[in-house]
Amino acid sequence: MTWREYHEATKHTAESLRRARSPLDWGNMPDPFRHYEGVPVLDLPADPPVPGIPALEVLRGALGSTPALDGPAFLSELLFYSAAISASKCVPSTGYRYALRVNPSSGNLHPTEFHFVSRGVAGWPDGLYHYRPSAHMAEQRATGEIILNRATHPAPLVFVLTSIVWREAWKYRERAYRYCLHDVGHAWQALSLAARAMGCSTFARGHFDDDDIARACRLPEDEWPMLLIEVNGAPIPLREPDSAEIVWHAGRPNRLSMVEIPYAPIEGIRNATRLAAGCIPGPAPMEEPLPRPQQITLPPPASTPRGFGETARARRSALDFAGGEQSLSLPQLSALLEAASTPFSADFACTRLVELYLYVHRVDGLAPGVYRYWRELAGLEQLRTGDQRVVAAGLSLGQDLAGNACVAFSMIGDLDRAAHIYGDRGYRYVYFEAGAIGQRLYLGAEALGLGATGIGAFYDDEVHRYLTISPAQGQVVYHFAVGYPISDPRLEA
Ligand SMILES: Cc1cc2nc3c(=O)[nH]c(=O)nc-3n(C[C@H](O)[C@H](O)[C@H](O)COP(=O)(O)O)c2cc1C
């Protein structure tokens, strides 16, 4: 199977939804928490300092600072503001309570696991750890010098984000691989922006030998390595690295479901996007599409003092938006688009692969219509005029929130160009980028006092027809909505 076959096979159409209609097997729902049982578990100190730099400044690329901390407190702060539990919801009719995290996830199923390798972090033994968000602790899977990949050394911290695709496939079946990639993109930016807010830089690596990393981290068969993220910077408290031999605890991964149902297209895309030793593509940049003159130049972005720490932990997906009169200002839209456009730091980020199309419903000074955002010019080109609320909701599988928002987005990924540069592996990178943009929009919206929701479900080819884009120009990979959230009675904290 190629990326193209997988992508075609997992498009939503009215017909595909009819065929897929079957009740969820709640008794077999995967546990959203992975534990490695039987390993030492290290405390991450409670109440780490709050990164106070304004979130919008971090989104613009500014570096925050961190008071001098020891290693455990540093790790605690980084994870508390990127991957920890930050709220819970309770379903009033059943009393069923569940956790929400700093990083969002399609269906709140959380396929992404955070592992990290530490080397020379003061007060923290060198080794391989798995983050346990349910208790804000680190499971020590090995001590000693773990070599992941020569290129990643000598960063004192290297995160390995993995996906447990079954968690998403339980609900979303074949299409689940797409959502896992989005979730990795969100988690990447959640981590990377928290690191920036603390004064550290990150670099993400998507090109690696998958089997090599899986072996180095002794990953179980259901966890697939997706992204390595190196964290560097003066705020990391350092000491000389240990030269100790590796001692493995490894641990027994908990069982997530009674039965796992395999999906052939997921195995197919997994194999298509896998890299093996010796075939790691070097990025060969291709010309980006030339910007066309825009019709509307955006004003300078709005700013707010809301701090990063508060913003990251308050971020939530809106259940729906108040569809009344309240609108966004143009400087607020400008701030969101700027947040989405700040360059990424990754080995697959030499060229941008995702473009934003906007369904503008209520933005002061901007007529309702469809617009394309030209990043290089910070401008908008109007493609269609008129009320887009019914269309935006309809294209998003009839989800009202895309029509009740002030602005909804189609993210158009240049899948062909990605494949030309990176081979089938490029499929992952387009989705990582879309998820990363989504995370920036979530945080930007929250900082501005707005709400946002990622939307993974849409009628693919109908979006293309409506936007009059051919597959060669790109394909829709993600929808997103920003507006004034209605209150969610299930939310507890
Ligand atoms: C990739 C992705 C796709 C999503 N798709 C939808 C969607 O189609 N409809 C929706 O209402 N919410 C969607 N969400 C929002 C999730 O349901 C939400 O993130 C999850 O319930 C956790 O809540 P939180 O974001 O408040 O932590 C999506 C989120 C992500 C990250």
Cis peptide before 331 (omega within 30 of 0): no
- What pLDDT shows up at residue 468? 96
| Tens-place pLDDT, residues 264-293 | 999 999 999 999 765 555 555 556 666 666
- What pLDDT shows up at residue 283? 53
Task: State the alpha helices, DSSP H only, in 399-452.
Answer: 401-404, 415-422, 426-447
Pocket probe mutation, ligand 1, options 455, 460, 488, max atoms within 8 Å of Cβ: 455
Does residue 399's CB lie within 6 angstroms of at least one atom of ligand 1? yes
| Tens-place pLDDT, residues 157-212 | 999 999 999 999 999 999 999 999 999 999 999 999 999 999 999 999 999 999 99
Average pLDDT over residues 431-438: 98
Nearest ligand 1 atom, CA 100: 27
Give how far the C-alpha of residue 180 lies from the chain's centroid of Cα atoms, to the nearest Å: 9
Nearest ligand 1 atom, CA 107: 17
- What pLDDT shows up at residue 284? 59
In which band, very low, low, confident or very high, does the pLDDT at 140 lie, cut at 50, 70 and 90?
A: very high
- What pLDDT shows up at residue 286? 58
- What pLDDT shows up at residue 290? 63
Does residue 182's CB lie within 6 angstroms of at least one atom of ligand 1? yes
Mean pLDDT, the chain, rounded, equals 94
Percent of the chain residues past pLDDT 70, beyond the cut: 96
pLDDT for residue 405 is more than 80 = yes
Question: From the CA of 179, how far away is ligand 1's center (Å)?
Answer: 10
Q: Contact at 8 Å (CB) between 31 and 110? A: no
DSSP assigned state of 425: G
Question: From the CA of 13, how far away is ligand 1's center (Å)?
Answer: 20
Average pLDDT over residues 111-127: 97
In which band, very low, low, confident or very high, does the pLDDT at 366 lie, cut at 50, 70 and 90?
A: very high
Q: Other CB atoms closer than 10 Å to residue 234's CB: what's the count? A: 11
pTM tops 0.95, yes or no:
yes
| Tens-place pLDDT, residues 215-258 | 999 999 999 999 999 999 999 999 999 888 999 999 999 999 99
Interatomic CA distance for residues 399 and 407, integer angstroms:
14
pLDDT for residue 315 is more than 90 = yes
Say if residue 400 is exposed, middle or buried (CB neighbours under 10 Å; 0-12, 13-18, 19+): middle
- What pLDDT shows up at residue 453? 98
- What pLDDT shows up at residue 323? 86
